[in-house]
Amino acid sequence: MAKPLSIKELGAAVAQRSAAENITTMLATLLLEPGRLELKDVEIPKAGPGEVVVRVRTALTCGTDLKTFRRGHPKIPMPTMFGHEFSGDIYQIGDGVTEFQVGDQVMSAPTAPCGECVYCTKGQDNLCSLSMETMINGAYAEYVRIPAHIVRNNMFKKPAHLSYGEAAMLEPLSCVVYGMDQVSIGGDDTVLVIGAGAIGLMHLMVAKALGAGRVIVAGRWENRLKVAKAMGADAVIGVTCHGSRDLAIEAAAKGADYVAFGAFYPTATKDAIGHPDLEILSWWSEVMTVPCVAIGGISAANCAPLVKAGADFIAVLSAVWNHADGPGEAVKLLNTTIAEAQVITA
């Protein structure tokens, strides 16, 4: 059995291949089954009409990637190309592409609504079936093909001052921007963010960028709370799995005006009773008058428990970057007030 390449050796091999002329194949990571990745030589994709091929400069790992690797995903059949958060340079453009040129530095969301189906024409673009059917999976490779409808709607030129790593944060930041857009935050408001993971930390940054007077971050992991404090949280609260109600009482006493709950993944069969995340949301909605923003799961059915539990606003993770305004507003934040996206992965 051949000895696996080190990260340094792999990087050198990729650089050598990229410098070669007339190459037709690329290195790509395939997820063959849960827990099993394989690096293979595959054909470089070709750009069809309206499409582009991007040479990947940075690809990130999100929670969905990790969970898919560990136990699979109902929307991602295997074997499959892998990875969907990325940025890079345009390598090839297809017929009809006029907004981009070869060599442009770009960032992209991994999906977009078609703009033509019955849902899109009614403004319900988050329900567009094409979004999941054509979602980009394949950023863990040297090159990735971007479908035409994504090129039109959700691909953007990378601002020069952003690193490729920062630009690759576009998709998760779009989720947070859309959720925050459902409420109006001002300088007199206090925002409580429950959960100090990547999404929670971005909620902190966006709330600050929107001018929130005070942002409190609650979480279970001390290292993440330290990052939250370093990123500008006015206060952090450490809690245990069973301390959520006490946390809510303490936060309410401090005057929270909005509550942004982190990633919820309730299944359609789970009730609000007995599910830890939904239990706190349900209790909060009963005793408090504070608006709640809940980041939900991947299907419309998963929204039902959140509604029952009392969420005032729901941002469904699989849909928020499809929304016409989500990625564009995220680009504005990346281009102006948010300049520390790399800290989120610490």
> What's the CA gap between 128 and 324, in Å, rounded?
12
What are 320's two structure tokens?
């928020």
| Residue type for position 231 | M
Q: Which of 39-43, 48-52, 84-88, 324-328 has the least mean pLDDT?
A: 324-328
Q: Which residues, 6+ apart, have CB-to-CB distance to 166 below 8 Å?
A: 334, 339, 341, 342
Q: Which of 63-77, 104-118, 261-275 has the least mean pLDDT?
A: 261-275
Looking at residue 140, its pLDDT comes to: 95
Residue closest to 126 by CA, chosen among 178, 202, 87, 83 = 178
Position 250 confidence tier, pLDDT thresholds 50, 70, 90:
low
Looking at residue 94, its pLDDT comes to: 97
Residue closest to 255 by CA, chosen among 212, 200, 220 = 212
Beta strands in 74-221 (DSSP E): 80-81, 85-93, 105-108, 143-146, 155-157, 190-194, 214-219
**Residue 79 preceded by cis peptide, ω within 30:** yes
Looking at residue 287, its pLDDT comes to: 43
Looking at residue 20, its pLDDT comes to: 62
Position 192 confidence tier, pLDDT thresholds 50, 70, 90:
confident
Strand 235-238, strand 258-263: pairing? unpaired
- Domains of the chain and any CATH numbers: 7-168 (3.90.180.10), 174-345 (3.40.50.720)
DSSP character string of 220-259: S-HHHHHHHHHTT-SEEEE--TT-HHHHHHHHHHTT-SEE
What are 266's two structure tokens?
């309730």
> What's the CA gap between 265 and 129, in Å, rounded?
20
Average per-residue pLDDT in the chain? 75
Q: Mean pLDDT over residues 115-143, rounded? A: 87
CB 59, CB 83: distance < 8 Å: yes
Residue closest to 218 by CA, chosen among 181, 259, 253, 178 = 259
Taking only the tens place, the pLDDT of each residue in 23-63 is 889 999 999 999 999 999 999 999 999 999 999 999 999 88
> What's the CA gap between 312 and 291, in Å, rounded?
6
| Residue type for position 162 | L
What are 153's two structure tokens?
């709607």
> What's the CA gap between 86 and 146, in Å, rounded?
11
Residue 297 pLDDT exceeds 80: no
Taking only the tens place, the pLDDT of each residue in 165-186 is 999 998 888 888 888 887 788 8
> What's the CA gap between 63 and 53, in Å, rounded?
25
> What's the CA gap between 43 and 158, in Å, rounded?
26
| Residue type for position 192 | L
